[in-house]
Amino acid sequence: MTAMTDVAFLLLTFFMLTSNFTKKEPVKVDVPSSISEIKIPETNVMLVLVDNSGKVFFSVDGQESRKNVLKKMGETYSITFTEKELAEFGNMGTFGVPMNMMKAFLNMTPEDRDRSENALGIPCDSIDNQFKNWVSAARAEKGPDCIIAIRGDKGTPYPKIKKVMSSLQEITENRYNLITGLQKETDY
Amino acid sequence: MAEVAQDHGDDGKKGKPKKMSTHIDFTPMVDLGFLLITFFMLATTLIKPQTMEIALPSKDKVSEENQTKIKASRAITIILGKKDKVFYYEGMQENGIDPKINSTDYSPKGLRKYLISRNNEAVLKMRALRAENSLKKLPTAVFDKRRSEILSSKSCPIVVIKPTDGASYRNLVDVLDEMAICSIGSYAIVDITPYDLGLIKNLNN
């Protein structure tokens, strides 16, 4: 009995220390595979999620930085957020809401937020490019070492990805990472 | 839950300390331990996601004389069509004659075979370098230097990737992957031109 307990708690400690939790994402994204073996760092990352219909989602790590990014975005779009709303945003993972709905979105219950009709995506077209502003705000907050990672779905049509890429290009973010799954290099 | 077993032998004998044996039932704790293990096992992601690095040129316009000129014979244009089709041609239009355009797919026998045949020298060199690296464990700086020397050699083809609107993100990643596999150091993602679309159309007819 004692031995089993020891092993059980050893395993528990191991899992507690090594775990990084699967973050909840508003959409399911099935990434393409590649032979690349570069690992993405866990901190200092801006994650851009693109689902197969081309909706764009965004997330920044760090609770404080998220709050500051939202504050900055609020200034750009002249929306003032209350302390409570900022705190809510700080606890949120990936989001995809246009700025005009952000206030309403933050006042929803977490269950309502997860509903699929609220996964709208961040506008990223030439008329209303909020995505660009989000990245700029996050870049100003996180400094030049922060990595941009794009997690696109396999089936996303190229024009949608191109919109994201050219938005990044416009704000001279020319280096970024594409997140892919693992694939063994077959014989060649 | 912890039960303290006491012996009731209180016969009034003085000077002898009372015997107390304590047995604590550990079962609930073990249960809790396993419950937590299960939770952490299910909630964790042990696999870190892979990434491929990509750098795109900035949008600033480059004037005509500052553009890098490359020999047409070194250029390979890869067009990503719809329904997972790939088209490629070498060089460019010369004296009004269109280059020969070929159609293939993303399998190892398709695009990869062609690219390796075009870039054989660099592929062999890279393979040798990797073999040497796994044997001798070269320092990273040395490995990177030699790698970039091979990749930037003058004989390597320069690949222009042109995705059409029908291509998917997966196609793009696949092609970028082929660039890594086939040791092609210089490539660029460029917008499709009506001329290229015309070439595909002619091929299909």
- Give the three-state DSSP class for A12: helix
pLDDT at A65 over 60: yes
pLDDT of residue B67: 62
The SS3 assignment for A38 reads strand
Give the closest residue to B164 by CA, choosing from B57, B85, B74, B72: B85
User: Is A58:A17 a contact under the CB 8 Å cutoff?
Assistant: no
State the amino acid at position B102 in one-letter form.
Answer: N
Nearest CB among B33, B58, B112 relative to A8 is that of B33
pLDDT at position B66 is: 59
Contact A151, A86 (CB under 8 A): no
A119-151 pLDDT, tens per residue? Answer: 777 877 777 778 888 888 888 877 778 888 888
Can you read off the two tokens belonging to residue B30? 């073990």
Region A95-113 average pLDDT: 77
Cα(B200)–Cα(A167) distance, rounded to whole angstroms?
A: 29
| Shortest CA gap A7–chain B (Å) | 10
pLDDT, tens digit, 9 for 90 and up, residues B47-101:
666 777 777 766 666 555 556 666 667 778 888 877 777 888 877 766 666 677 7
Strand partners, A34: A182
| Stretches in chain B below the pLDDT threshold 50 | 9
Which residues of chain A make contact with B172, given a CB cutoff of 8 A? 158, 161
Output the pLDDT for position B13: 55
Cβ-defined contact of A180 to B30 (cutoff 8 Å): no
CB-based contact A12 B40, cutoff 8 Å: yes
CA distance A82 to chain B (A): 32
Mean pLDDT of chain A: 78
Boundaries of every domain in chain A: 23-182
Question: Distance between CA atoms of B131 and B143, rounded to whole angstroms?
Answer: 11
- CA of B127 to nearest chain A CA: how many angstroms apart? 11
Q: How far apart are the first and last CA of chain B?
A: 83
Nearest to A182 among B29, B50, B55 (CB): B50
Q: How confident is the model at residue A188 (pLDDT cuts 50, 70, 90)?
A: very low
The whole-angstrom separation of Cα B145 and Cα B150 is: 9
Residue numbers in A near B180 (CB within 8 A): 34-36
Q: Which residue has the tokens 């291509």?
A: B167
Q: How far is residue B16 CA from its own chain's centroid?
A: 76
Handedness of CA A108, A113, A115, A117 (dihedral sign): positive
The residue type found at A61 is: D
Cα three-residue angle B44-A94-A51, rounded to 5 degrees: 95
Q: What pLDDT score does A164 carry?
A: 82
Structure tokens at B132: 């040497």
Distance from C-alpha of B180 to C-alpha of B184, rounded to nearest angstrom: 6
The amino acid sitting at A78 is S
Closest chain B C-alpha to A164 CA, distance in angstroms: 12
Q: Do A175 and B30 touch (CB under 8 A)?
A: no
**For range A8-13, the mean pLDDT:** 88
Q: What pLDDT is stored for residue B58 in this prediction?
A: 62
User: Given this model, what pLDDT does residue A46 score?
Assistant: 83
Is there a contact between A188 and B50 if contact means CB atoms under 8 Å apart?
A: no
- Identity of the residue numbered B124: L
Q: What is the mean pLDDT of residues A113-117?
A: 71
Task: List chain A residues with CB under 8 Å of B56.
Answer: 165, 168-169, 174
pLDDT surpasses 60 at A187:
no
ipTM here: 0.75
Phi and psi torsions of A24, nearest 5°: -75, 130
- Do A175 and B54 count as a contact with CB atoms less than 8 A apart? yes
